[in-house]
Amino acid sequence: MTHSTALRVNPERSRSFQTRIIEGLICCGYGILLGLVLATVPTQADVQPLRAHFIDVGYADAILLEFPPPAGRGLSADATTMLVDAGDARHSSRLMSYLKVNQIRRIDTVVITHPHQNHFGGLRKVAGRIPIGRVFHNGDPDAEKGYSALLAYLERRHVPVEIVRRGQTLQQLPASVTVEVLNPPDLNDSPNNNALALRIKHGRVSLLLLADIGPDRQDALLQAFPDIRQADCVLIPHHGGPLGGAFIEAFQGKLLIVSTGPNRWGLPREDQLKKLSDTIYRTDKDGTIVVESDGVALKVVSWTQNDH
C-alpha cells in the first residue's frame, strides 16, 4: 500500500491581461488629435480565488486557506494564508512537505481549534520553519500533554497568541473574506465541544469548519445560527464521528469533507455518511482535497488519490 505525496496540481495563477486599445480621432476646427489610450482589463483567469486545502494528515485536521490578496496589492501579491489546525506530530513532515511544495513561505494566521494532539501537534515544526503572524485559540485549560510547551515556544518566538470566543470575527483579512467564530460560547463543556468552530465567507460562498464538536453542540449551533444551513462546504465534525439528527438533515447533499485516517474508533461512521450524501470526499481515501471558490461558485479542483 503506497501513499502518494500531495502535490499542487492547480494551474498557476494567470498573469495574462486583456489589453484594449482605443484609438480616437477627434476632429476639431484647429486640427486633428490622434489619441491612443491603453486600457488594461483583467480577464476572469486573473481573479484569484479562495482555496481551501484539506491536507491528508491521518486521523487529524490540517486545513490551509489561501485568501485572495487585499485590494490594491496587485495580482502578483502573495495570498493571505491561514492554517486551521496542524495535525499531529507524527505527520508534521507530511504537512511541511505540502506547505513547501505549495510555496507557502509565511502563515499569516493560525487557528488551533482545541488543545488535542491531533490538532496542534504539528504546529511546533511549522513554527520552527515558517514565519507565523499570529495564533488564535480557545484558551481551554483542559489540554493534552505538550500544549503548554507549544504556547511557551510560540511566546519565545514572539508570535502573538490570542483567545477568541463565539461572536468574534477574525481581523486583518481581505475585504472579500470574513472568518466568524461560532463556537464556543464558553468553556463549560468537554474539550471537543469547546472547540473553535468557524464560518468562512468569501463573497456569496461559505465554508464551515466544525472541528470536533459532538451531536449536542452541533444541534445547538444550528439553533443559534440557523443560516449556517446555507453553507456550501462543510468539514464533517470529529473526523466523521457521531452526528446529530438536525445536522444530517441540514447538510444533506452539500459538499462534504471528512479529514480522517486509520483509528481504533471505526471512524468515519459509514451509516451516517450514507444518510448525508453519495459523494463525500475523504482524506483517507482521496488524499488531500483542494476546494476553490471565486466568491460565486465553489468546486473541488484537485485531490490526490490514495491507494488504501
Residues of the chain with pLDDT under 50: 1-46, 74-77, 308
**If you average pLDDT over every residue of the chain, what do you get?**
85
| pLDDT of the residue at 187 | 97
| pLDDT of the residue at 70 | 65
Fold annotation for 17-303: Metallo-beta-lactamase; Chain A (3.60.15)
The total of other beta-carbon atoms located within 10 Å of residue 304's CB is 19
SS3 (DSSP) at 94: helix
| pLDDT of the residue at 176 | 87
Which pLDDT tens digit goes with each residue over 133-145? 999 999 999 999 9
Which pLDDT tens digit goes with each residue over 14-51? 333 233 323 333 333 434 333 333 333 334 444 579 99
Which pLDDT tens digit goes with each residue over 147-176? 999 999 999 999 999 999 999 999 888 888
SS3 (DSSP) at 205: strand
Give whole-number Cα distances, 251 to 17, 109, 132, in Å. Answer: 39, 28, 34
| pLDDT of the residue at 48 | 72
